[in-house]
């Protein structure tokens, strides 16, 4: 048990050697469990019924001004012209316009200084990372100014937020010689895609792998670490299960990882893939059930007034993708062989601290540590104790960096 001289609620800390399981307070599944609750499924069944009724209604033939029938192929000069309904075109342009607006705000946030004296500590920049899907992701970087760069930290944000939310933490890392890179994953921040919609978390996992390969090529000789929060932590964990990625990474830090999410009813798990195909972008108000993520009212206001944070109800496909990745991780926790530090608040009602304990117990690596903060909530880095938590993370990273330097000398 760690006792803090600052009077904060002390974390329960364990390391791999001589540890025993700890009793934790209960958590809750949060928004994803609520999404696939029986109440939500009844709503989906009503939606499905409406869709089927629409499919049974014959299409009416509507002639356009040139005499052609809407929805038919019109031949002109031997070629075939497929008429696209105007509503689909408008919807696509609407999404593209929304992405452009978010991207402009993301660029502006990089250029605006958040803290006094920031220019003496860090140099911020942004770039666009091309994906194999012909899209682009918005990325940020924070480079130390006052101290030499000793290592890299690649950061993955959580569901519905974006990389700019970690500006203060990135500068703290800069102060200790870590250059920080971050990526807004698909459907988030300044990246491509409908806001808050993730068609596949496998896209995010593969994008992270490609991003890491690019950064390691651009920064040869520097040890690299990964940081992930909540669903971002699940993405990081799945990426480092790839031996090619694991061999390039010195360790990972996971805060409030989403590695165990269960629907409220077994039937929901069976029907979830069906509904995710039928109505992938559908949103449920019930999917927003869950407690606050911080005990700091000002931090909560700042987060949810940020236009780059998605505050709408969770989309069906996004929730199903989270179920898929957490199910995969539950079956593969024993394969986690990379050094890691996992941190979790015992009062978290979005992800469960028991899952972090399970990760710690089952992971095969001998280099593992867990910190459980009594009474703290989900977003540890915007809790009132944020600086103490950041120090715990930085101390762990520095210890791994020192070990790496000793190995080089030997």
What pLDDT, in 10s, does the model give residues 231-288?
999 999 999 999 999 999 999 999 999 998 876 666 666 777 888 899 899 886 655 5
Element (H, E) at 137: strand 136-144
CA separation (Å) from 30 to 103, 216, 286, 351?
Answer: 29, 36, 10, 7
Measured distance CA(136)–CA(199) in Å, rounded: 15
* Burial of 2 (C-beta count, 10 Å sphere; 0-12/13-18/19+): exposed
Contact 190, 105 (CB under 8 A): yes
Measured distance CA(132)–CA(7) in Å, rounded: 50
Measured distance CA(51)–CA(140) in Å, rounded: 42
pLDDT, residue 27, reads 34
**Helix, strand, coil percent content, the chain, rounded in steps of 5:** 45, 15, 40
* Burial of 341 (C-beta count, 10 Å sphere; 0-12/13-18/19+): buried
Handedness of CA 141, 146, 152, 153 (dihedral sign): negative
Share of the chain above pLDDT 90, in %: 64
pLDDT, residue 253, reads 98
Q: Is the pLDDT of residue 76 over 60?
A: no
β-sheet with 368-373: strand ranges across:
11-15, 368-373, 340-345, 251-255, 224-229, 151-156, 178-183, 136-144, 122-130
Q: Is the pLDDT of residue 20 over 60?
A: no
Per-residue pLDDT band at 337 (split at 50, 70, 90): very high
Half-sphere exposure of 326 (CA within 13 A, CB side): 25
pLDDT, residue 37, reads 57
* Token pair of 205 as six digits: 């996992």
Measured distance CA(360)–CA(373) in Å, rounded: 15
Query: Of the candidates 226, 257, 274, which has an alpha carbon nearest to the alpha carbon of residue 325?
Result: 257
Handedness of CA 214, 219, 225, 226 (dihedral sign): negative
Contact 36, 264 (CB under 8 A): yes
pLDDT in tens, 286-315: 555 568 999 999 999 999 999 999 999 889
Measured distance CA(171)–CA(390) in Å, rounded: 11
pLDDT (mean) for 138-158:
97
- Structural domains in the chain, CATH included, are 11-16+36-42+102-403 (3.40.50.1820)
Q: How many other CB atoms sit within 10 Å of the CB of residue 188?
A: 30
CA separation (Å) from 119 to 21, 115, 124, 167, 183?
Answer: 45, 9, 9, 13, 22
């Amino acid at each position: 048990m760690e006792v803090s001289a600052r009077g904060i609620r002390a974390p329960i800390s364990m390391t791999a050697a001589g540890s025993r399981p700890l009793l934790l307070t209960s958590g809750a599944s949060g928004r994803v469990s609520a999404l696939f609750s029986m109440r939500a499924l009844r709503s989906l069944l009503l939606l499905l019924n409406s869709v089927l009724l629409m499919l049974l209604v014959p299409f009416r033939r509507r002639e356009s001004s040139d005499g052609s029938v809407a929805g038919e192929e019109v031949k002109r000069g031997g070629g075939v012209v497929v008429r696209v309904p105007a509503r689909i075109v408008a919807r696509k342009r609407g999404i593209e316009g929304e992405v452009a607006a978010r991207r402009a705000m993301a660029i502006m946030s990089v250029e605006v200084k958040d803290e006094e004296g920031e220019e003496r500590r860090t140099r911020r920049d942004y770039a666009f990372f091309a994906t194999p899907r012909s899209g682009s992701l918005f990325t940020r970087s924070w480079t130390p100014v006052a101290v030499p760069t000793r290592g890299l930290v690649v950061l993955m944000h959580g569901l519905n937020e974006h990389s700019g939310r970690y500006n203060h933490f990135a500068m703290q890392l800069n102060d200790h010689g870590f250059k920080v890179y971050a990526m807004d994953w698909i459907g988030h921040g300044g990246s491509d895609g409908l806001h808050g919609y993730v068609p596949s978390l496998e896209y995010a996992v593969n994008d992270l792998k490609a991003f890491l390969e690019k950064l390691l090529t651009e920064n040869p000789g520097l040890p690299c670490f990964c940081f992930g929060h909540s669903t971002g932590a699940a993405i990081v964990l799945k990426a480092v299960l790839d031996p090619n990625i694991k061999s390039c990474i010195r360790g990972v830090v996971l805060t409030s990882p989403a590695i165990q999410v269960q629907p409220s009813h077994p039937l929901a798990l069976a029907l979830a893939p069906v509904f995710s195909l039928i109505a992938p972008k559908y949103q449920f108000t019930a999917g927003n059930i869950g407690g606050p993520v911080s005990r700091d009212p000002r931090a909560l206001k700042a987060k949810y007034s940020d236009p780059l944070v998605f505050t709408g109800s969770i989309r069906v496909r996004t929730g199903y993708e989270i179920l898929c990745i957490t199910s995969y991780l539950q079956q593969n926790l024993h394969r986690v062989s990379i050094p890691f530090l996992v941190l979790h608040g015992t009062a978290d009602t979005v992800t469960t601290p028991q899952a972090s304990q399970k990760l710690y117990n089952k992971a095969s690596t001998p280099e593992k540590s867990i910190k459980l903060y009594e009474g703290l909530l989900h977003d540890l880095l915007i809790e009132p104790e944020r600086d103490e938590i950041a120090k715990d993370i930085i101390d762990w990273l520095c210890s791994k960096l020192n070990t790496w330097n000793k190995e080089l000398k030997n």
